[in-house]
Structure 1
Amino acid sequence: MSDRSYLSGLAAATFAYVCWGLLPIYWKVLGQVPALEIICHRVVWSLVFTGALLVALGRLGEVFRALRTRRDMLLLAASSSLIGLNWFLYVWAVNGGHVLEASLGYYLNPLVNVVLGVAVFGDRLGRPQRIAVGLAALGVAVQLV
């Protein structure tokens, strides 16, 4: 990996984490607006922005190719619905004063995914992965107790 690529990735990750950290403040400012209305705006404006970006990059055809089969369309609809539900619950929790609980949910989710990967799919964790999962679980446990 080149230094330029590394620094670019580091800058993007830092920007994403800062935005993610400030997001609860933004949702709180919109506390008087119903969570469903916020999510509806988020969906519509995400569609507009992403559509414009796909057109600008000349990649709109990829979207239509991905929607060719009924199975793929149903899978995308299901995953989109789950993401929308996730967004709604997060905004609802923050606006309802449950920031810590919402944050814990976001810490627990990857841990649950790891457990399911090991239990259901037979994934094997290496030593560094086991240490990372253990530390993450410890961090969640400290917050829960």
Structure 2
Amino acid sequence: MLNTNLAKVCMFALNEKTAQEIFQECITIEDLSKFQWRILKYICGVSGIYDTFPEILLFHRTDLKAYIDPKVSKEYLHDKRGALYKLIMDNVMGHLIDRAALEIVEEYEYGNLAMILYGRKKKLIDMCEGLKKYKMEDFVLLDKFFPKNV
């Protein structure tokens, strides 16, 4: 979880800085790794129920929204360009795609929202049962099971 003091600084800074500046200054590699792990654990936890996952569902069901001010979350729902939520989700999901865990199944619009539908790749499907037994946010295991593609 983000350091509480850091989270307050980041949310306060939201009024003064762009989302990109806040992302660069406030969101750490450790935060992004935690978000990746949470998403993988959630997807594995509901495997057999769902085959595809809308970006916004992953954002809300994994409590990533708890890291972002409600105003920013509202902007997420209205798909305002450059919002902090979008930078975080694009980064996290891009890393999971690079790790060969997920793939983009479809990009579509729902009303005025640009949506992305993700699916599990074979590597994640094969690893899900094993991942369930590990605690959240184990960065070493994330890199071991899903090494970063160079």
Using the size of structure 2 for normalisation, the TM-score is 0.31
Structure having greater relative contact order (Cα 8 Å, sep ≥ 6)? 2
- Structure number with greater Rg is 1
Q: Relative to total residues, which structure has the larger strand share, 1 or 2?
A: 2
Using the size of structure 1 for normalisation, the TM-score is 0.32
Q: Relative to total residues, which structure has the larger helix share, 1 or 2?
A: 1
